Structure 1
């Protein structure tokens, strides 16, 4: 937003849109990866039915938690204005 509490500029809205999209896509990918890592051994190694069902339930419980944590982390980090360091440039503090 501008310094006077007005509406955000188009560039700021675009940056927020990109960041939200990145948060959702990366969270979905990470949640799917966690689910596959938890449930995968049940299919790979032919584990007993009870253990396979347990791993499936754990995967179903863990994936949404990972999704939400990732989205919140990315959006909070964006709101703080964290930017990656730029090698070769001096920081404003120096």
Structure 2
């Protein structure tokens, strides 16, 4: 399990598979990244796949208050942390 910790102390659970152009798979609300396990395995044959549990979901921390902007900012900061400058979503 890979964790990325934000400056506010929130830990974001993520995983990467494969090599190549990055594709970020983002689950819907009330879900987690395991919904993409089969798809990720197939995509990882040709791409670098980034799976992420949004804050409040899966193995990521569950802060009391979550704003939609937090989701977007978490993704931007995670990609910066992984040195990914460009990706498909």
Output the TM-score relative to the length of structure 1. 0.29
Higher helix content, 1 or 2: 1
Higher strand content, 1 or 2: 2
Larger Cα-atom Rg: 1
More relative contact order, 1 or 2 (CA 8 Å, 6+ apart): 2
Output the TM-score relative to the length of structure 2. 0.31
